[in-house]
Amino acid sequence: MGALLWSLLLLLQEAKGFSGDDEDPEEVVAALQESISLSLEIPSDEEVKDIIWFFQKNLVTVVPRKEGKSTVMLTMDPRYRGRVGISESSYSLSISNLTWEDSGLYQAKVSLNTSQLFITKSYDLRVYRRLSKPHITVSLKISEEGACNISLMCSIERAGMDVTYTWLSSQDSTNVSHEDSVISTSWRPGDRALSYTCRASNPVSNSSSRLISVGSFCADLGSPEKPSMSCLLAKGLILLFLLVILAVVLCVFQTRKNRELSRVRKLKRNRIQLRKKGSPGPSPV
């Protein structure tokens, strides 16, 4: 009876260990198309019989050999052939060239020769893409009061999941942050030009945009109904300059025309005088 109860207790412990319900999975993050290593911590005084790694099904079975011989992997999921490796010393599982499909729950079951119990370890692997440089979209609108209202939207191409956006601005020597993909502000001529930087982050990377100066977008804009005095003065000077040039051109043209007419009249008078001098007198009777 005692032997039967002991056997039942061992079965319950094995079932608990294999299910992974005895502890929460360790969260692990990795970058797309890169590598990850899932490590094991096995007591040095324990002799390992075999290790089975699970992912949705039996991923790989590892049988340690005697000293001087390499570890043997008996079975392997064909989807991971060429991408999975086992450490000779720690029996850690390494996966290279990660894909989206590699995300999920991994479990390792380590059977020991020194006892009928085994060690289990669980990992929750999440794969993310490294972020590219943020793209900034600018929207402007001039109010009736002459204020320049500006909205900056930060976005990442193929961002994926779990991306956070933070706007950083230096104002009055204090860093001000705004956690959202869009930030709105206003600017008037004479105001101190504010500058913003968008920083995007996910669990494996972060990337920042170039510095965006609000005043650079609004400085050349104004209300068409209320143009500034400097603008009116500049336009008046340009118009006056054009009128002066036109008057000079007309004066030069008229002077040349008068000279040409005077020359033509003089030539006509000379021709008439020559004709009078060369005409014959009356014939004698």
Which range among 45-49, 203-207, 245-249 shows the weakest confidence by mean pLDDT? Answer: 45-49
The per-residue pLDDT for 129 is 93
- Which of these three, 218, 235, 260, is where a domain ends? 218
Residue 259 lies in a domain: no
Report which listed range, 57-61, 99-103, 239-243, is most confident: 99-103
Tell me the per-residue pLDDT of 139-164, one tens digit each, with 9 for 90 and over. 888 877 778 888 899 999 888 888 99
Pair 31, 87 in one domain: yes
* CA-to-CA separations, 15 to 72, 137, 220, in angstroms, rounded: 26, 55, 73
Pair 22, 51 in one domain: yes
Which range among 4-8, 185-189, 264-268 shows the weakest confidence by mean pLDDT? Answer: 4-8
Confidence of residue 17 (pLDDT cuts 50, 70, 90): very low
Residue 228 lies in a domain: no
Residue 33 lies in a domain: yes
3-state secondary structure string, 71-88? CEEEEECHHHCCCEEECC
Pair 71, 144 in one domain: no
The per-residue pLDDT for 23 is 67
Pair 79, 144 in one domain: no
pTM of the model: 0.61
Pair 210, 146 in one domain: yes
Query: What mean pLDDT value characterizes the chain?
Result: 77
pLDDT at 183 over 70: yes
Pair 79, 165 in one domain: no
Q: Residue 177 is part of which domain span?
A: 135-218
Pair 175, 104 in one domain: no
The per-residue pLDDT for 97 is 93
CATH of the domain at 94: 2.60.40.10
Output 174 or 63, whichever has higher pLDDT.
63
Residue 205 lies in a domain: yes
Quick one: 149 exposed, middle or buried, by C-beta within 10 A (0-12, 13-18, 19+)?
A: middle
Mean pLDDT, residues 41-66 taken together: 82
Residue 283 lies in a domain: no
Chain position carrying tokens 């930060």: 154
- What is residue 46's DSSP assignment? P
Contacts with 230 (C-beta within 8 Å, 6 or more apart), sequence order: none
Contacts with 127 (C-beta within 8 Å, 6 or more apart), sequence order: 29, 30, 31, 32, 98, 99, 100, 102, 103
Looking at the structure of the chain, the number of domains it has is 2
